[in-house]
Amino acid sequence: MNKYFFRYFFSIFSIAILILGIQTAFLVGQYRTSEKEWNNQIFEEFVSYLEDGGNLELNKTFPDDRVSGIIVRGPENRVLVDERRHEGAPLPPPVTRSIRETSIDFTTDSEGNITFTRTDGKTTAEGPGDLYGRINVATNGNIAFSVDVMLFSPMKYEHSAQIINSCLKSLLISVPVCLVLAFLMAFLISRKNTSDINKIRTALKKLEKGNLDEKVEIKTHTEMGEVATSVDQLAKSLKASEQSKKTWLNSISHDLNTPAASIAVIAEGLSDGMFPPDEKTLYALKKESDILSERIRRITDYCTLSGETSVEQTEVSPTDFARNIIVSCSFADRITADIFTDKIVCNSALMQRACIELLNNAAKASEEKISLAISEKEKDYTISVRNKGTIPSDMDSFELVQPWARGDKARKGEGNGLGLAIVATIAGLHRGEVTIRQDGDYVEAVVKWPLFIEK
């Protein structure tokens, strides 16, 4: 659990700190913007105050206590007034920097009317660290005096400083709070995940030992729940594979033993003189030998196809494709072909083999007509074979395409139950699938694979 705990703890805590860092950066940016607006507003109010003939006795007349001080200079830069808002407060160290400069020029016309003009700009000056701007007051173009205006920053102004300090304290308190929450969340998550991981590990060990009925009891919609579902599906697949392996062994034994036993009986009869070595006996012997060879060939073909992962696909004429299939069937007169596309892309030899297997199954199921249709629908090519017949009620498409899926009842007829398995394997090599469904009195087998041209 320790390994998972520390991993979750550092992940959660890092995310929390990252969010706090982003929030802090955002607040700092907002503070810088607000500070500029704050200073501009106070300075503009002070300029307006002077334009209206305001008194320069700071503590008595100017109502905005956000101005921390003024320095009034007369001609020849002589200091006339040096006044601070809070007497005795330490002055910021002097610095040389760019400050705002506003000039107000009062003029009197011949009728005694007073007007003023204003210009704004920047200048470099040396002064206290809280010096924000300079106001030059002139009369008829001659500077009478200048006022250096010093401002409290939001961090230094009493009322705003309380609010800002409260926000900073909240951010600082958030760090240990995040630490505690990260610890608790990491503990709870790691404990739950460790429990789920142990359940999955135990289930996998049991699967490894052959206990295929094991299930993982994790009923959540988390990643662990998905893993547990996958493990359960794996167990089902392994169980089906185990059952398929047993079916393989039983079916191979049955399918190969039947003609082999017949050959042995005929051979023993010839040896004992029970069967005459005439043409009829030799024909029976050859027939059983051919059946045995055909079943061995089909098993070999199925195993070879099952070992492949992909096939080369080329463009094929559906008309020529259907013609080649039909002429290969001994019951060609019973097949009707309908073509609804100008081309198909597939491995022609393998797909023809799949169609022939489907047609052979259809011919064995019924003596009536068999329809073959080739079409292109949306993003897929489709080949369907339709014949009169009935699907066993206890079997679905998946079961029907398994090797020897016909079951024991099918042993009464011809074939060895590998036809549909071969079809399904060929469809899989084309990244497609096979579906078999009952449609009234008819059975329809459909091979569908995606449109594809290998470059």
Least confident of 55-69, 303-317, 421-435: 55-69
Instruction: Return the closest-CA partner of residue 384 out of 395, 370, 394, 397.
Output: 370
* Strand boundaries in 225-379, DSSP class E: 314-316, 335-340, 344-346, 370-377
Q: What average pLDDT score do residues 312-323 get?
A: 93
CB < 8 Å & 24+ apart, contacts of 409-416: 411/254, 413/364, 414/364, 415/360, 415/361, 415/364, 416/251, 416/255, 416/295, 416/298
**Tell me, what's the pLDDT at 345?**
93
Q: What are all long-range contacts of 2-10, with beta carbons under 8 Å and residues at least 24 apart? A: 4/189, 4/190, 4/193, 4/194, 4/197, 5/186, 5/187, 5/190, 6/186, 7/190, 8/185, 8/186, 8/189, 8/190, 9/182, 9/183, 9/186
pLDDT for 160: 85
Residue 86's pLDDT is what?
Answer: 60
The yes-or-no verdict on residue 55 having pLDDT over 80 is: no
Range of weakest confidence among 17-26, 71-80, 234-243? 234-243
Q: Where are the domains of the chain?
A: 212-307, 314-450
pLDDT (mean) for 167-174: 84
pLDDT of residue 434: 92
Nearest-5° Cα angle at 333, 369 to 445 = 40
Q: In the prediction, which pLDDT does 226 show?
A: 79
pLDDT in tens, 13-38: 888 888 888 888 888 898 899 989 99
- The single residue listed with the structure tokens 């091979």 is 447
Pairing of strands 370-377, 344-346: unpaired
DSSP symbol at 206: H
Burial class (CB in 10 A: 0-12, 13-18, 19+), 148: buried
Q: What is the DSSP string of 331-346?
A: TGGGEEEEEE-S-EEE
For 99-153, write each residue's pLDDT tens digit: 999 998 888 877 778 788 889 999 998 888 888 999 998 888 888 888 888 888 8
**What is the pLDDT confidence band of residue 409, given thresholds at 50, 70 and 90?**
very low
pTM comes to 0.48
pLDDT above 60: residue 83: yes
What pLDDT score was predicted for residue 374?
Answer: 95
Pairing of strands 370-377, 335-340: parallel
CA gap 31, 37 in Å, rounded: 10
Q: State CA 425 to chain mean position distance.
A: 30
Q: Are 172 and 141 in contact (CB under 8 A)?
A: no
Q: Which DSSP letter does residue 89 get?
A: P
Same fold yes or no, 212-307 and 314-450 = no
Digit-coded pLDDT (tens) for 98-113: 999 999 888 887 777 8
Closest by CA position to 38, among listed 65, 66, 68: 66
CA angle 101, 103, 106 (to 5 degrees): 165
Q: Which residues contact 366 (CB under 8 A, 6 or more apart)?
A: 387, 388, 389
Cβ neighbours of residue 117 closer than 8 Å, sequence gap 6 or more: 104, 105, 107
Fold held by 314-450: Heat Shock Protein 90 (3.30.565)
User: Would you call 445 helix, strand, or coil by DSSP?
Assistant: strand
Do the Cβ atoms of 104 and 114 come closer than 8 Å? no
Identify the residue with better confidence: 170 or 90: 170
Tokens of 418: 């590998």
CATH number of 212-307: 1.10.287.130
Give the pLDDT confidence score for residue 1 in this predicted structure.
54
